[in-house]
Amino acid sequence: MTGWQARAACRDADPELFFPPTDDDTSLIAARHKMAVAPICSRCQVSTDCLRWALDTGQEHGLWAATTPTDRRAIRRGRLAGVPDSVADAEPMCPACSLLFALPAVDGDLCTRCQERRAA
């Protein structure tokens, strides 16, 4: 468990709430799950970290920061189109990988992952 996960508002919640038993985001059951987790995520102090993690690791299932897989694909399409997400991309992003894997820049330079790639 990483640092932000230890502070998650959902750490004591039923994990099944966050994983609807269907991949159809438009289904009634998926909507019910989203409505159930929204109040938990809205009071979560690490929701931005959670959303970034889900985006950066390409999570294809589950509700992360109350976003569905379809929501996250829309955010990634927005990034590709040069439209940053107001929450996930609020901080300066690494200029080398900001389109698909928007990691926070380190002092305005490349993210640690790109710094390692450059050094290799």
> What does the alpha-carbon distance between residue 77 and residue 80 come to, in Å, rounded to a whole number?
5
Q: Which of 67, 74, 69 minimizes the C-alpha distance to 51?
A: 67
Residues 56-75 that bind ligand SF4 (CB under 6 A): 64-65
**Residue 49 C-beta: closest distance to ligand SF4, Å:** 8
Position 9 contacts ligand SF4 (CB under 6 A): yes
How is 32-60 classified by DSSP, letter by letter? Answer: HHHHHHHHHHHT-TTHHHHHHHHHHTT--
Minimum CB distance to ligand SF4 smaller for 44 or for 75: 44
User: Interface with ligand SF4 by CB under 6 A: which residues?
Assistant: 8-10, 18, 40-41, 44, 46-47, 50, 64-65
